[in-house]
Every structure is written in structure tokens, then in C-alpha cells.
Amino acid sequence: MSVANEVQAWHATSLPAYSPTPKRKRREHALKNKNPNSYQKTISLQLYSKFSSLSIIFLRNSMMQTKIEAGELLKTINYPEDLRKLPEEKLLQISEELRQYIIDIVSVYGGHFGASLGVTELTVALHYVFNTPYDELVWDVGHQAYGHKILTGRREVFHTNRLYKGISGFPKRKESKYDSFGVGHSSTSISAALGMAIASRLKGIQDKHHIAVIGDGAMTAGMAFEAMNHAGVDKANLLIILNDNCMSIDPNVGALKEYLTDLTTSKWYNKFRDDLWDLLGKMGKIPQKIASKIEDGLKSSILKPGMLFEALGLRYFGPIDGHNIHTLVHTLRDLKNIPGPKLLHVVTVKGKGFAPAEKEQTKWHAQSSPFDKITGQSFAKKTDKPQPPKYQDVFGHTLVELAKANNKIVGITPAMPSGCSMNIMMKEIPERAFDVGICEQHAVTLSAGLATQGMIPFCNIYSSFMQRAYDQVIHDVAIQELPVIFCLDRAGVVGADGPTHHGCYDIAYFRCIPNMIIASPMNEQELRNLMYTATLNEKNAFVIRYPRGEGVMIDWKTPFEKIQIGKGRTIQEGEEIAVLTIGHIGNYVTTIQPELQENNIYIGHYDMRFVKPIDEELMHHICQKYDKIITIEDGSLMGGFGSAVLEFIADNRYKNTVKRLGIPDKVIEHGTQLELHKEMGFAPEQILETIKTMKLVEIIS
Ligand SMILES: Cc1ncc(C[n+]2csc(CCOP(=O)(O)OP(=O)(O)O)c2C)c(N)n1
């Protein structure tokens, strides 16, 4: 059967059976299925990671031949106004069709997955009960907003989700008036919705609702608590919906998670409440009202659910079943009439309705390659040929190697154990590896504290999430000259996640801070050696930035060698033009060398390895030998590596002509890494063109 026919066949099949987890067992189910050490290999969608990605793109292209149709009822819903015209009985069907449509599209085009499936009923209920977009609905992180996008005018373009020039994978203000706040990073929703609520009050608007939907993972961040601390005294009209599925990307961690689990697994209380409710429901509304009062009394006198939130000045409601559309609709309607700040605790299952995703929730947080929408089996072709590893895995394995040899080494990750491969150390040396929740600021200062005691902390934070902890790096690490090692994963453009996640700015924002070493490896061996070198350094913060995706070496487990700090590497001496690169992007230059030589162009190529301190000796050599210099970086041009080169040239009164290639001063949207590099003018062909043009200018002049 051809791929297109196979796709047609899948699309003809009906909704996969929901796993019948009984209400009371749902939370235990979620808890049972979490595996803090699960080490999964997903297939990267990087174009320049050669084989695997090309096969995914080929496969996806053939699958795209078939148009994916939404269900009969969902097809009639273009905007929430259409939804609100339906009788409540139809909401279950809409939820099922919405869930199926998300499964159908993501199984071909990839994207975030489990989180949207988990909030399908909640999404329908919110748009049904509230008057969006007049009422402001703010999704936290936004990876769970696929249902929201489909119901708010983007059903027909949803298949372009996360693709180059397609719609964004996250809510985005420019994209739709229903996306009241742009997101991507977590834990901003309560502050943003509170700001909207205060603005309404100041403008004298009384009939507007402001709703923040935040997950239990995002709730672990300090910022969420800063916002609740304010909301509790401000008394603005704010509804916080806590979507509690026990999961972050990996299983959620920390005392707050334990507290929420206690709230939702008070079995005897929940059973008592449900039985009483059902019994009284049969007798009519008045007995149920009495039951509510009894329940309130019970809550406050014995269990004190939500005490934490109540203490912060928020009225706490719940926990309620987030997959019961009618419970959701009725509860939200009731809450509409309760003014002031309040929190509704909704319990959901991440991946709901797609059995493999319910079972392996971390793996199904997101999918980049097409998969069978019934079994979940990946369609990505496996190759027998050995492939270079992902940089994140080189980090993870190397850290364990170093930590086994040196018991002062500790690992810290803010909620990204499988994303950055810290889960390898969490499995092998659990007592020295910490997932601290979505708390980048805490991760940095915790590392600083560890360093004061002679420990050697490897604090791994994605480049874009590190933006959260800027002051901590300056105040708690750099000024105090503490030797914290920062490994910045996902440095450079990251691809489909887009502007909120691109790691564009780290070189620029760290370069101006004293006492910082900033390095970037061009390959796996350099990453290992930089990590090793960093453990020998006792004074400065040591930043090692590397990109998303695979490196270039098959045999990468080479013996450790100390690299002299501030020393670059000459890949090739040349005659005419010097190309200076920092990090993995240098491999683009290596790939075009044969073509350059065929054209009798002999460039010098230098892998500078350190942005700070820059290799001054090598820089003097380059500036004296070559008239023309090209710098290439997968980072912002403004204040970046090329700027460092220009500063050196100016400070030393050289007169070289410099062309800088890198990320320009504008927001870079989503697409594959290669598409974006092309757009910005530093994909291999364009580097080739730039060099040829420079050469031509030399000949003419
Ligand atoms: C500041 C920041 N750090 C890390 C992330 C990466 N991240 C994306 S989703 C997610 C988990 C969110 O968990 P939760 O809020 O419970 O939502 P769920 O996926 O479980 O629905 C994390 C850690 C992020 N988006 N922002």
C-alpha cells in the first residue's frame, strides 16, 4: 500500500478507544505511569541532521497529499460563536471530534501532543461558557492551545502548524484576536491575566472575565506565585484554572506537586462527596445546595483543601473532573457569578484519548515524526548506518562520566531532564542530579550555593529559558566569582518552536558580564573537552552553548583533553579570506570547502571556540594575514561573536573589511533550522555566495 493510501486508511478509521480509566483511579494511573528516568530517543526534525530528517520530510510530504477532514459537527464551528449556538448535549461530540482532529493532524505534521489532548473538554467548555474574545483567555506556555486554535478560526490552516510560514505552535497576538497573550515560556499567564483584569477595573468595565489556564508544572515557577500573591490582595476579577495532570514534560516534581496530589487523592473524601452528590442529585437542586454547604463545612473543618491558595487570598474550587464536559460547563457558569480572584482546580490526564500518549506521557509531550494514529508507532525510517549523537546526549553521557570520576560534580535542570538529557545522570547518580521544577532563577542560585561549598555544578538550561535567570547569573554567580558551569542547550535557532524558543541572545547577554568564560563546541569532541576543562576551572562562570540536534561525529567518545581557555583552533590556513566561526555552525563552512577549492578559492577557516576570552594571538595573526574577514554565528549579530571580532579590530586599529553573518535584529519566526538559516543568509549555499562575492570584489578592486 502506498503511503498516501495508508494515510487515507488511517483517516477513515474512527476515534481510538478511550482508555477507560475510572474517575477515582485516574490520578493513580497518571502517577503510576510516570517514570522519572525515562530516557527517550526522539527523532529530530533538523534538516542539517541529514538522513533521518530528510526521510521524515519525504514521508510527511507524501502524507500531505491527503486532506485531513474535521468531523461533521466540528466542520460547522468556525468561531466560538458557532459553538455557543449548540445545545449543551452536543459538546461531547464536539470534544471527541476536536480531539480526533488534533490526533489526525499531529500524526502527520508533528507538534506538541499530550497537553492539547488533555485539555480538549476544558477548551470546549471555556469557549462555550465565556464570551471570547471579549473575555480574555490566557493559556500558559501555550503548547496545549491546539484545540483553542482550531475553534477560533484556524481549523483550515491548522495543518500548517509550526511549519515555515505556517501558523505558530503557540498563541500569538498577531495571529488572532482570540490569542489574548503571546506565550511559549511558562508561568506568565496569571500575571498577564491579572494585568488585563486590573485594566478592566480601571476602565470601569465590569462584565469582562479574565481567565488564566495554567498547568501544575507551570505552577511550580516563582512567577506564578508572585502573581497569585498580588492577585490575592488586589481583588480584581480573575479566574485561574489549574490544569493538574501530575506532569510537567517529565513527571512534575516538588512539594507543591505532593500537595496537589494530596488534594486530589483524598479518596474517602472524594468518594463521600461523589456518592452524596449523586444521591442528592436524584432528589433535586435544593438537596444538592444543602450538600454543597455540608461539603464546604467539611472542607474547612477537616480537610482544608486549597488551603494554600485560600491563604493567598484566592477562593479555591475543586478538584473537578476535567474530562466531564458537563461538570466543566456548569462549574464555569457558576464561577462567572463569583467576583474577585478565584482558582478552579481541574484534574486531567495528559494525552487523554490516545492510549500510547496516556501511557508514556513524557514521550508524547511532543512528536516530530509522523506516526500511526492508532498504535502510535513511528513511521520514521530507521537506518542501520551509525549516526552522530545529539549534542544533548553527548552532554548527558559526558556528565555521568565526569561525575563518576569526581564526586563534587552535581547536575541541575529546571524541568528539562529528558530535554537536556540530564535524566541519564538522574538515573545513574540520582543523589547528585536535581530537577528543580520550572525554576530557572532558583536553578542558577542553587548552583551558586553549591559552588560556594566547593561543589562543581553543571547547570543545564536552554538558552532561551536562561533569559529568566539573568540577574541571578550576574548577582549570584559572576560578581561572586563562583565557578558555576552553565550548559546552554538549544543555542541558536531551534526550529519549529519559533521565536519564543530560539536561543539567539545568550552570547550578547553574557558577553558583557565580567568573570564569564563563553565557549561553543564545533563538534562532540569539543563539547566533551570543554565540559572537562570547565571542571578544572576554579574561578569563573563557564558557559558552554550548543545547538538543538545532532553533531557530526560517529566516534565521539574520545579521551578527555584540557583545552586552553581562550584558545581557538585553526582548521585550515588560507590565502585570501578568513572565515571565523563559533560553534556547530562552523560545519557549514567545512561542507563547502570542496566547492570553494574547485573555484580556486582558498579561505582560512578558524573555529574560535571561545567568544570570551577571545583568542587574541590568533586574532592578531588573522588580522595581519587576511584583508577580509567573515564571521559566522548562530546567534544575534548585535552584541554577538561578530561584534567581539569588530571590537578587537577597532581596539587594535586594524583595517580589515568584516562581513558578519548571524541573526539580524528582528524576530525570527518558526521553520526548520535550515530554512531559518537560509532566510537569514547563512545556510551553506549563502556562505559560499558571500565568500565568492567577497573574492570577486577583491579581483575587481
Ligand atoms: C520558562 C520555561 N521553562 C521551561 C519550559 C519548557 N516547558 C514547556 S511545557 C513544560 C511543562 C509544562 O507543564 P504543565 O504546565 O504542567 O503543562 P502540561 O504540559 O502538563 O499540560 C515545560 C517545562 C518553558 N516553556 N518555559
Give the distance (Å) from ligand 1 centre to CA of residue 249: 6
User: pLDDT value at position 274?
Assistant: 64
Q: Which of 249, 256, 323, 412 to mutate to test the pocket of ligand 1 (most atoms within 8 A of CB)?
A: 249
Give 263's pLDDT tier (boundaries 50, 70, 90).
confident
Residue 141 CA, closest ligand 1 atom number = 25
Sequence-distant (≥ 6) Cβ neighbours of residue 678 within 8 angstroms: 685, 686
- Kindly state if the Cβ of 464 falls inside 6 Å of ligand 1: no
Tell the residue nearest (CA) to atom 24 of ligand 1: 185
DSSP string, 393-444: HHHHHHHHHHHHH-TTEEEEESS-HHHHTTHHHHHHSGGGEEE--S-HHHHH
33-47, 402-416, 593-607: lowest mean pLDDT where?
33-47
- Is the CB of 442 within 6 Å of ligand 1? no
User: Average pLDDT in the 425-439 region?
Assistant: 98
CA dist 598 → 587, 595, 601 (Å):
18, 5, 7
Q: Is any atom of ligand 1 closer than 6 Å to the C-beta of 215?
A: yes
Please report the atom of ligand 1 found closest to the CA of residue 216: 16
Mean pLDDT, rounded, for 385-413: 97
Checking if the pLDDT of 387 tops 80, the result is yes
SS (H, E, C) 205-264: CCCCCEEEEEECCHHHCHHHHHHHHHHHHHCCCCEEEEEECCECCCECCCHHHHHHHHHH
Residues 250 and 692: their CA atoms lie apart, in Å, by 48
CB of residue 257 inside a 6 A radius of ligand 1: no
Q: What is the mean pLDDT of residues 433-453?
A: 98
Of the candidates 155, 468, 548, 609, the residue annotated as catalytic is 468
Ligand 1 site, residue 141, Cβ cutoff 6 A = yes
Instruction: Find out whether 488 and 544 touch, Cβ atoms under 8 Å.
Output: yes
Model pLDDT, residue 3: 28
Ligand 1 centroid, distance to 221 Cα (angstroms): 10
At residue 262 the predicted structure's pLDDT band, cuts being 50, 70 and 90, is confident
- Please state which of the ranges 33-42, 96-105, 109-118, 540-549 shows the lowest mean pLDDT: 33-42
Q: Are 417 and 426 in contact (CB under 8 A)?
A: yes
CB-ligand 1 contact for 120 (6 Å cutoff): no
What is the distance between the alpha carbons of residues 260 and 274, in angstroms, rounded to a whole number?
19
> Picking from 81-85, 160-164, 266-270, which range would have the lowest pLDDT averaged per residue?
266-270
Cα–Cα distance, 116 to 631 (Å, whole number) = 42
Task: Give me the mean pLDDT over the 63-73 stretch.
Answer: 85
Q: How far is the CA of 218 from the centre of ligand 1 (A)?
A: 6
Sign of the torsion formed by the C-alpha atoms of 99, 101, 104 and 110: negative
pLDDT, residue 7, reads 27
Higher pLDDT: 538 or 678? It is: 678
| Identity of the amino acid at 209 | H
- Ligand 1 center to residue 430 CA distance, Å? 22
Torsions phi, psi for 113 (to 5 deg)? -135, -70
Provide the pLDDT for residue 267: 55
CA of 112 to the centre of ligand 1 (A): 11
Distance (angstroms) between ligand 1 centre and the Cα of 216 equals 9
> Span 168-195, mean pLDDT?
98
346 touches ligand 1 (CB under 6 Å):
no
The sign of the dihedral angle between the CA atoms of 6, 7, 10, 11 is: negative
Active site residue 468: yes
CA 548 to mean position of chain CA atoms: 12
Answer yes or no: is the C-beta of 216 below 6 A from any ligand 1 atom: yes
| pLDDT tens digits, one per residue of 320-333 | 999 999 999 999 99
- pLDDT given for residue 697 in this prediction: 74
Which residue's entry shows cell 476535567?
Answer: 322
Q: Are 682 and 660 in contact (CB under 8 A)?
A: no
* Residue 386 scores a pLDDT above 50: yes
Enumerate the β-bridge partners of residue 661. Answer: 632
Residue 143 Cβ contacting ligand 1 at under 6 Å: yes
User: Does the beta carbon of 413 sit less than 6 angstroms from any atom of ligand 1?
Assistant: no
Tell me the CA–centroid distance for residue 259 and ligand 1, in Å: 19
Q: In this model, does residue 39 exceed pLDDT 70?
A: no
pLDDT at 141: 98
pLDDT at 298 over 80: no
Pocket test for ligand 1, best of 187, 362, 438 (most atoms within 8 A of CB): 438
